[in-house]
Amino acid sequence: MTQRLHLVFGGELVTPEKNVFRDISQIHIVGMFPDYASAFAAWKAEAQRTVDNAHMRYFIAHIHRLRDEAQPSSSTEELGS
């Protein structure tokens, strides 16, 4: 069985129209979650907490999609060495 991992993170964007963080050293890592439902709940809580700041955005990254063990090599391996 494939383990599903979801990372929830966010921060302040330069402009609400683009997904470019103002200061990447200030990115808020909410956490890693074992399923989409719990990741979505965490994302929603952070999004609602920061609703008054139009520049704040939170995202769910599907970490399990970065590496497909069934493939002989994944695109992430191409970035290394």
Looking at the chain, the whole-number percentage of residues with pLDDT higher than 70 is 79
Backbone φ and ψ of 37, nearest 5°: -60, -45
* CA dihedral angle for residue 20, residue 10, residue 64, residue 3, rounded to 10 degrees: 180
Distance separating alpha carbons of residues 39 and 7, to the nearest angstrom: 7
Going from N- to C-terminal start, the domains of the chain cover 6-79
Task: Look at residue 59 in the predicted model and tell me its pLDDT.
Answer: 96
Using the predicted structure, report yes or no on whether residue 77 has a pLDDT greater than 60: no
Task: Convert the pLDDT of each residue in 12-33 to its tens digit.
Answer: 999 999 999 999 999 999 999 9
Task: Characterize 25-54 residue by residue with b for buried, 16 or more Cβ atoms within 10 angstroms of its Cβ, and e for exposed.
Answer: eeeeebeebeeeeebeebbeebeeebeeee
Closest CA to 55 of 21, 9, 8, 7: 21
CATH class of 6-79: alpha beta
Task: Look at residue 81 in the predicted model and tell me its pLDDT.
Answer: 44
Using the predicted structure, report yes or no on whether residue 64 has a pLDDT greater than 60: yes
